[in-house]
Amino acid sequence: MKVGIVGFGMMGRQIAQVFAQHENEVSVTDENHESLGLGMDEIENGPYGLKAAVARGKLSTTDSSTVLSRIKTVVHLKDACAHADLVIEAVYEDPDLKQRVFQEIDSSAPPTALLASNTSTLTLTKIAAKVKRKERVLGMHFFNPAQATKLVEVIHSRETAPETIQRGLEIIKLIGKTPILAKDEPGFIANRLGLTLFQEASRLLEDEIASINDIDNAMKLGYGHPMGPFQTADLVGLDTRLRNLESLFHATGDQKWLPSKALREMVNQGYLGDPSKRRGSKGGYYQFFRIEPRTEPP
């Protein structure tokens, strides 16, 4: 299968790698041309990249070069989409931007191509408002880091054709993931649940009921989550978290999605999450509040 990816930031890179590792030809583009080189470097050398997979014995060195050779970077969006069977959009979580990009993808991709968005919170109805082939639009919501996480949410709007949903589910299984299906409602399944937890964690912190360490440990040690809600936010990226909450708030008008003051402050000051995952970030919750992660009793 030929896959076009528009937006080669954190998620676009991960998704490109996953498809290339499953024998698909991938063309990627990004309006920031620097991102193209940085993205390829991350796919090769990043913490979940190909060298790391070789080091863990999951991939041979020869296979890793084959995987890398399946990913082509192109400067223009139309070249990423021209021969694609599937185009996945992974640009910033901004409804107007996504709408514009989707329209451009629609006029560049072959008429039979499926058009997917990796949006975390926006509705397909909004994003694809100006797309002609609405029956071929679906959501494919990957989870960070896509190389390691098994889940992909497949989203369908009222206009998505049953064959598109079917093909979407098949594609997700072909790349070794488990799909779950959700209707086109803000936040879908996983983010509605995950962001609810994060918002409650932020309230516990803001009301000084508990410390960051203890809130994270509550979910790790008490509920068996691999990471606490603040650690998850640091991994996802705090700017992405902020955009997700703002978009849920705008979409629903529900106060429960209003971002906390601390989150806004961190993003304004350049604390965008884990610096090993987010280039240029000053750190995440633990660095901003100057605390050491701790699992032992206080």
Ligand X SMILES: NC(=O)c1ccc[n+]([C@@H]2O[C@H](COP(=O)([O-])OP(=O)(O)OC[C@H]3O[C@@H](n4cnc5c(N)ncnc54)[C@H](O)[C@@H]3O)[C@@H](O)[C@H]2O)c1
The answer to whether 151 contacts ligand X (rule: CB under 6 A) is no
CB of 54 to ligand X, least distance (A): 24
Q: Is 285 in the site for ligand X (CB under 6 A)?
A: no
Clarify whether 153 is annotated catalytic: yes
Closer CB to ligand X, 226 or 297, in the complex = 226
Local structure of residue 259 (DSSP, 8 states): P
Q: Which is nearer to ligand X, 61 or 76 (CB)?
A: 76
Q: What tokens does 242 get?
A: 């902020």
Identity of the amino acid at 45: N
> Are 289 and 260 a contacting pair, CB within 8 Å?
no
CB nearer ligand X, residue 54 or residue 82: 82
| Burial tier of 82 (Cβ tally within 10 Å: 0-12, 13-18, 19+) | middle
Residues 93/49/172/92 CA torsion (nearest 10 deg): 10
Binder among 128, 212, 236, 263 for ligand X (CB under 6 A) = 236
The dihedral through the CA atoms of 125, 98, 76, 9 has a sign that is negative
Specify the 3-state DSSP secondary structure of 151. Answer: strand
User: Total binding residues for ligand X by CB under 6 A?
Assistant: 28
CA atoms within 13 A on the CB side of 238: 31
Whichever of 147 and 244 has its CB closer to ligand X, that residue is 244
Cβ nearer to ligand X, comparing 209 with 227: 227
Q: Which position among 108, 120, 164, 199 is part of the footprint of ligand X (CB under 6 A)?
A: 120
137-142/151-156 β-pairing: antiparallel
The token pair that represents 2 in the structure block: 């030929």
Annotation marks residue 292 as catalytic? no
User: Which of 119, 147, 157, 202 lies at the binding interface for ligand X (CB under 6 A)?
Assistant: 119
191 is catalytic: yes
Angle 206-211-214 from CA coordinates, rounded to 5°: 135
Report 18-47 residues binding ligand X (CB under 6 A). Answer: 29-32, 35
Q: Which stretch binds ligand X (CB under 6 A): 3-11, 20-28, 162-170, 251-259?
A: 3-11
Give the number of other CB atoms < 10 A from CB of residue 173. 11
- Of 61-100, binders to ligand X (CB under 6 A) are 90-93, 97
Unique residue bearing structure tokens 């992660």: 293
Q: In what order do the strands lie in the sheet with 151-156?
A: 71-73, 25-29, 2-6, 86-89, 114-117, 137-142, 151-156, 178-183
Among the listed ranges 138-146, 158-166, 175-183, 282-290, the one in contact with ligand X (CB under 6 A) is: 138-146
The answer to whether 140 contacts ligand X (rule: CB under 6 A) is no
Applying CB under 6 A, does 273 fall inside the site for ligand X?
Answer: no
Closest residue to ligand X, based on beta-carbon distance: 9
Q: Are 210 and 204 in contact (CB under 8 A)?
A: yes
Give the residue, chosen from 3, 5, 8, 286, that forms a contact with ligand X under the rule CB under 6 A: 8
Does 33 qualify as catalytic in the annotation? no
Residue ranges binding ligand X (CB under 6 A): 6-12, 29-32, 35, 90-93, 97, 101, 118-120, 141-142, 144, 236-237, 240, 244
Task: Please identify every residue annotated as catalytic.
Answer: 120, 141, 153, 191
